[in-house]
């Protein structure tokens, strides 16, 4: 089963309006490559020119930030939930 990627409101126009996308891959990076192939403008937001994660993008695999796991190399299993969010403040 492919992973499910939830798309934040600000990026839905780049994803044909979709709230969620499905894409296959063994890692988050592979899933994002697949998404970039299907939705090139969305891909530009998710991957920096160097191919890494842009600073304002937070990506969670099963609610854990991948920056503190293995980054784009974080493994993705069956039906993994990937959540994309902009960096935000509270306080």
Alpha carbon distance 16, 53 (integer Å): 22
Alpha carbon distance 45, 60 (integer Å): 16
Does 87 help bind another protein (rule: CB under 8 A)?
yes
Residues 22-81 that bind another protein (CB under 8 A): 45, 54-58, 60, 63-65, 67-68
Q: Report the largest interatomic distance among the alpha carbons of the chain, rounded to a whole angstrom.
A: 39
Interacting residue with another protein among 30, 33, 43, 85 (CB under 8 A): 85
Interacting residue with another protein among 18, 30, 33, 83 (CB under 8 A): 83
Closer CB to another protein, residue 23 or residue 66? 66
Interacting residue with another protein among 8, 18, 43, 71 (CB under 8 A): 8
The CA-CA-CA angle for residues 83, 48, 78, to 5°, reads 35
- Which residues does 38 contact at the CB level (< 8 Å), separation at least 6? 21, 23
* Residues in touch with another protein (CB under 8 A): 8-11, 45, 54-58, 60, 63-65, 67-68, 83-91
């Amino acid at each position: 089963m492919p992973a499910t990627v939830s798309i934040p409101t600000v990026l839905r126009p780049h994803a044909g309006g979709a709230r969620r996308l499905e894409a296959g891959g063994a890692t988050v990076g592979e899933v994002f490559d697949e998404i970039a192939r299907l939705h090139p403008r969305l891909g530009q937001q998710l991957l920096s020119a160097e191919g890494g994660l842009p600073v304002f993008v937070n990506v969670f695999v099963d609610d854990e930030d991948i920056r503190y796991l293995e980054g784009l190399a974080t493994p993705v299993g069956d039906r993994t939930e990937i959540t994309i969010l902009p960096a935000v403040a509270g306080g």
